[in-house]
Chains A and B, each alone.
Chain A
């Protein structure tokens, strides 16, 4: 029966040939690293976010009167609503973590270098889009915590001269947070950002497929890193076939991701849903000790430490631009970060500083 169904499709569209062609033409280098499969886990995490987000949309009411109660109803009344919401909340945080790890591994392996500059830029833009996803989704439950976190975060751009107030007004749909702000964030979260993310993702995956999987600089057969003058796909004729060699490792990484996700949901369900998230938003009462979400704690702590907001924000914007266009600032051929002590030390310092500021901002 199964063979008949497959045969029916095979006769009409030749799906077997299509799959065979696609897999045969795609090979991974011999020294491919397990860390190169983190991107696959990030992709799986995104698919989970889309699925759980759709489930939540079925019961969520995007208006200030009903948003909070609809989310509480999902958590308490709808069968397994708590599971899908917790998966969405925890999964959102883990997606950011996974993407950060993916970018770190790409950075350490120097895989952003010629000819993969555009792949890095698309990945960086995907990362910032995900941050904006998390930021816009944070307001939707309309709880006291989420409301004031968003109030603070949307006030930050106002310190930029000329355009600052405009950016805050655009984000909030006016000078103050209101029902329109919720509409705006909802529209961004479920309509605009998924579209942008999807386009960037398709472009990113197209580049990975078109250029070929990069070869890490640590193995026995490092890729030729001399700048290219003509397009050439890395085919690795002596390498491993992507299926099953690479795909099995990718599946393992996805399983690791799922294990962490469900471990957190089971044993630390309140980690990303603290006390203030079960109190309805009161726009006339700021709770004590409001902090933004964990992924914004480092820039927030910088703003607290340095009174000149314009200076601090400018530094952060410059760092963001430097991050996105890093392949053009790092022109050296050497891909092994361990052979570049200055870059290694600098990267380690920035990561440590970021972690310290995040922990400091939390306590």
Chain B
């Protein structure tokens, strides 16, 4: 009886010790050091004329700010939602093109054609007077 009790206690303690390590381990392995959150970037409106775009890195994510001819400023992640390549802005076609598998997005980030199934992630953007503030 006492031996059985000891065995059960050993199992419980073993599982508890092992189990209590799992969560910290999962958090430790998925840490995202080096990606500061909550940072803001600001530009003068005049720096990006209508139809032009600027590549930026925001919170560790390659992104693009586009001054759309008919929709004003928008900030989008450049990370293609298919397999993570970076989309490029094609000014003449008013499209964002993925060089890897020919995914095509419009200037709102919505998928037009190709393998991506989700739109590009939009990054919050505000106009404050003459400034464009990202984040």
Contacts and interface: CB of A to CB of B under 8 A. Distances in A.
A325 interface: no
Which applies to chain B's interface (DSSP): helix, strand, loop or mixed?
loop
B86 A285 contact: yes
B40 to A, nearest CB: 19
A38 to B, nearest CB: 35
A166 interface: yes
A155 interface: yes
A174 B83 contact: no
A290 B34 CA distance: 26
A52 interface: no
B90 to A, nearest CB: 14
A283 B34 contact: no
A307 B31 CA distance: 31
A179 B32 CA distance: 11
A179 B84 CA distance: 17
Interface string A251-287: 0000000000000000000000000000000011111
Interface string B100-133: 1100000000000001010000000000000000
B83 A284 contact: no
A305 to B, nearest CB: 10
A179 B30 contact: no
Given A154-B84, A180-B34, A285-B86, A170 B29 contact: yes
A284 B32 contact: no
Given A170-B30, A173-B32, A284 B115 contact: no
The range of chain A's interface size is 20 to 34
B105 to A, nearest CB: 14
Contacts of A156: 83
B37 to A, nearest CB: 11
A174 B85 contact: no
B32 to A, nearest CB: 4
B34 A169 contact: no
A121 to B, nearest CB: 24
Given A154-B84, A286-B85, 7 more contacts: A169-B32, A170-B29, A175-B61, A178-B34, A179-B34, A286-B88, A289-B100
9 contacts: A148-B100, A173-B32, A174-B32, A178-B60, A180-B33, A284-B57, A284-B62, A290-B100, A307-B115
